[in-house]
């Protein structure tokens, strides 16, 4: 009986070590920065989280051509990214495009998917190095 309990303890410890050593997933900030960058056709590294209010992140970037500062809001609902311009309305109307994310390749890549509502979609894949 002692052998069985030690075997169970060892198995549980091994499983927790495997989970702990797995590649880390993306933080909410990285997901929002990448999603907004994808939507706007920008580099995720220029997106900056400037503040957080509850579960809403405020992001800005400076357009290089004229130094105009653009501001957006973002929140995560499951695997969906809901966003809004600042000022502006949330893109959560049934007729709005829906934006989703997937963490793939063991946390090494982030895929942003825009469902356009007409059965078409756009998918963009970002390596961890492109984001962080």
129/26 Cα distance (integer angstroms): 12
pLDDT band at 64 (very low <50, low <70, confident <90, very high): confident
Token reading at 18: 């495997």
CB 84 within 8 A of CB 72: yes
Query: What was the pLDDT predicted at 121?
Result: 96
33/45 Cα distance (integer angstroms): 8
Phi/psi at 129 (5° precision): -65, -25
CB 101 within 8 A of CB 81: yes
CB 34 within 8 A of CB 113: no
121-127 vs 109-115, strand pairing mode: antiparallel
- C-alpha torsion 85→114→31→19, nearest 10: 160
Task: Write the pLDDT tens digit of every residue in 3-30.
Answer: 333 433 333 333 333 333 344 589 999 9
Task: Write the pLDDT tens digit of every residue in 82-131.
Answer: 999 999 999 999 999 999 999 999 999 999 999 998 989 999 999 999 99
pTM of this prediction? Answer: 0.80
Query: What was the pLDDT predicted at 19?
Result: 37
Query: What was the pLDDT predicted at 132?
Result: 86
The alpha helices in 1-123, defined as continuous H runs, are 2-21, 28-40
Q: Mention every residue, 6+ apart, whose C-beta is less than 8 A from residue 23.
A: 106, 107, 108
Residue 51 pLDDT > 80 = yes
């Amino acid at each position: 009986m002692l052998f069985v309990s030690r075997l169970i303890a060892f198995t549980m410890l091994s499983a927790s070590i495997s989970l702990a050593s797995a590649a880390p997933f993306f933080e909410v900030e990285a997901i929002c920065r990448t999603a907004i960058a994808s939507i706007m056709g920008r580099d995720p590294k220029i997106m900056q989280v400037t503040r957080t209010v509850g579960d809403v992140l405020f992001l800005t970037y400076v357009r290089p051509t004229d130094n105009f500062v653009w501001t957006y809001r973002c929140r995560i609902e499951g695997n969906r990214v809901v966003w809004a311009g600042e000022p502006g309305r949330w893109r959560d109307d049934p007729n709005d495009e829906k934006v989703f994310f997937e963490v793939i390749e063991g946390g090494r890549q982030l895929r942003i998917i825009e469902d356009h509502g007409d059965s078409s979609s756009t998918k963009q894949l970002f390596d961890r190095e492109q984001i962080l």
